[in-house]
Amino acid sequence: MSVVARQLARDEDDVIAGLRSHPKRLPCRLLYDAIGAELFERITQTDAYYPTRTEQALLDAYLPAIAREVGPRARVIEPGSGAGIKTRRLLAKLDHPASYVAIDVSREQLEHTATRLHQEQPDLEVEAIAADFTRAFTLPAPRSTVGRSLVFFPGSTIGNFEPFDAVAFLRRFQRFAGPRGLLLLGADGTRERDVLVRAYDDEQGVTAAFNTNLLAHLNRARGANFDLTAFDHRAVWNELRSRVEMHLVSRRAQTVRVGNESFELAAGEPLVTEYAYKHTALALRSILAAAGWRVREVYTGAVHPMRLWLCESASTR
pLDDT at position 51, please? Answer: 96
3-class state of residue 129 by DSSP: strand
Burial class of residue 232, CB neighbours in 10 A (0-12, 13-18, 19+): middle
Beta bridge partners of 254: 265
The Cα angle at residue 27 between residues 249 and 254, in degrees rounded to 5: 35
pLDDT at position 11, please? Answer: 52
**Residue 116 neighbours by CB under 8 Å, 6+ apart:** 84, 88
What ranges in 233-280 are assigned the alpha helix state H? Answer: none
3-class state of residue 245 by DSSP: strand
Domain boundary assignment for the chain: 3-31+193-277, 52-188+280-313
pLDDT at position 122, please? Answer: 85
Say if residues 226 and 218 touch (Cβ distance below 8 Å).
yes
Question: How many whole angstroms separate alpha carbon 173 and alpha carbon 76?
Answer: 12
Task: Find how far residue 165's CA is from the centre of its chain.
Answer: 13
Written as tens digits, the pLDDT of the chain (317 aa) is: 344 444 444 556 899 999 999 999 999 989 988 899 899 999 999 999 999 999 999 999 999 999 999 999 999 999 987 777 889 899 999 999 999 998 887 777 788 887 888 788 888 898 888 888 888 788 888 888 889 999 999 999 999 999 999 999 999 999 999 989 999 999 999 999 999 999 999 999 999 999 999 999 999 998 999 999 999 999 999 999 999 999 999 999 999 999 889 999 999 999 999 999 999 999 999 999 999 999 999 999 999 999 999 999 987 55
pLDDT at position 4, please? Answer: 41
CATH of domain 52-188+280-313: 3.40.50.150
3-class state of residue 34 by DSSP: helix
pLDDT at position 264, please? Answer: 97
Q: For 280, list phi and psi in degrees, rounded to 5.
A: -65, 160
Say if residues 249 and 234 touch (Cβ distance below 8 Å).
yes
